[in-house]
Structure formats: C-alpha cells, structure tokens
Amino acid sequence: MSRPVRIAPSILSADFARLGEEVRAIDAAGADWIHVDVMDGHFVPNLTIGPMVVKALRQHSAKPFDVHLMIAPADPLLQPFAEAGADIISVHPEAGPHLHRSLQAIKALGKRAGVVLNPATPAESVDHVLDLVDLIMVMSVNPGFGGQKFLHSQLAKIAALRQRIDASGREIDLEVDGGIDRTTAPLAVEAGANVLVAGTATFAGGPAAYADNIRALRGA
C-alpha cells in the first residue's frame, strides 16, 4: 500500500546560533514537520533544548512541531511543551512508570500522542496503548546523538509495527528516526514507515541545499 511519506528534519543538526532562521529555511524548503529532539542529559547522554526554545521557534513556522521527549520523568514537562506550541508529543515507555497515563495526559492537552521505541524496546510495548497513540516512532540508532549509523536490525520491528497499525484500523503514523539518508530512507519506507526524521541528511550543505536534500529523501 502506498502512503505519502512525510519528511521531518531534526533541528538537532541545525545551526543552534541561527535556529529561527534554520526553521524558516527548512519550512520553505519543503519540510512536512519540524522535529524537535529534547534531551535531558539523564535519560540520554546529551542536553539540548527546553520549552522556552520551542516557544521562541513557534513563530517561525506553522508546520507541525514533532517534539520527541528523551527525558525522564516526562510527565512534569508535558504541559509546558504543549503550551510552548508542540503539536505532537512523544515519550518513551521507559521514561515513567505509567505510559498509559502519560499518553492520556498528552491527549487531554489537545495534542497528538506518540510512543518511541529504542532499539532494544520490543514492538509489543505498544500493544495495550494502540487506542491512545497517534504516532509510533522507531529509533534506528540509540538516542542521544545525531549522525549515527542506521541499525538494520530495526527494519523487522518497523514491519511488525506496521502490521499492528494496519490491524488496529486506526490512523497512526509510523516514524523512523536515526541514520536516515538516501540509502536507508527507502528501506524504512519499504518496511512500513510513513514519516522520516532526518537531521544530518537535511541540514548538510547549508540553507541553499535544504530543498534538494528534502527532495532527494522524498524521491529515494
């Protein structure tokens, strides 16, 4: 079955000194979503941005803000990120004791709710929350840093999740994040993904190259 593929450039690979301009540039270049990687230096070994930065960037694009919370505990920051302008908020099952409650909280804030599966997290982790999720993201690298190599072991998981989504009859996006480039993008899509997060592959070469980079990923 053919699904339109969305490209969600990760601003983790953008020039942090010019974030507003970078978001405007990738929006104009054809990005479907703006992917925001939030890391706390605790759940993952890196520290990135908080709600204030998301709020500041919100005025630079009307595209959906796809906010990936690599933080633990995540629950206390759901409302601040929602109020800052996140459209989709995704959490890891390992980031708190009650995944179901976290997803309920995201939905109650009027946002789309996502679950993120690390490389070692099994597809079965979503089986009892499929009625609540709008997005499932498969990490095809270990989270925490950009520029890592795609883990081919995750393709079987993507395929398994696609079967679950189709069987549920619900409109759930299947997103893949990590090591996505012109070579790995078709593999992820073939396995069943319909949203591709790409940092290095979209931001390489500076603003003049963004449109070509996005077009190449979509065409791949």
Q: How far is it, in rounded angstroms, from Cα 71 to Cα 55?
A: 18
Q: What is the pLDDT of residues 174-202, one digit of tens each?
A: 999 999 999 999 999 999 999 999 999 99
- Residue-level pLDDT at 197: 97
- Using 50, 70 and 90 to split pLDDT, how confident is the model at 2? low
Q: Which of 27, 32, 37, 66 is catalytic?
A: 37
Q: What is the 3-state secondary structure (H, E, C) of 144-166?
A: CCCCCCCCHHHHHHHHHHHHHHH
Q: Which of 32, 40, 173, 177 is catalytic?
A: 177
Q: Decide if pLDDT at 42 tops 70.
A: yes
Paired with 197 in beta bridges are 8, 177
93: cis peptide before it, omega within 30°? no
Q: How far is it, in rounded angstroms, from Cα 99 to Cα 95?
A: 8
32 is catalytic: no
Annotated binding site: 10, 35, 37, 68, 144-147, 177-179, 199-200
40 is catalytic: no
The helix (run of H) or strand (run of E) holding residue 52 is: helix 51-58
List of domains in the chain = 6-219 (3.20.20.70)
- Give the sign of the dihedral formed by CA 136, CA 141, CA 143, CA 144: negative
Higher pLDDT, residue 32 or 2: 32
Query: Do the beta carbons of residue 93 and residue 74 sit within 8 Å?
Result: no
Annotated binding site for a divalent metal cation: 35, 37, 68, 177
Q: How far is it, in rounded angstroms, from Cα 191 to Cα 92?
A: 22
Q: Rounded mean pLDDT of the chain?
A: 96
Q: What is the pLDDT of residues 106-156, one digit of tens each?
A: 999 999 999 999 999 999 999 999 999 999 999 999 988 777 899 999 999
Q: How far is it, in rounded angstroms, from Cα 220 to Cα 183?
A: 7
Task: State percent of the chain over pLDDT 70.
Answer: 99
Q: What is the pLDDT of residues 70-104, one digit of tens each?
A: 999 999 999 999 999 999 999 999 999 999 999 99
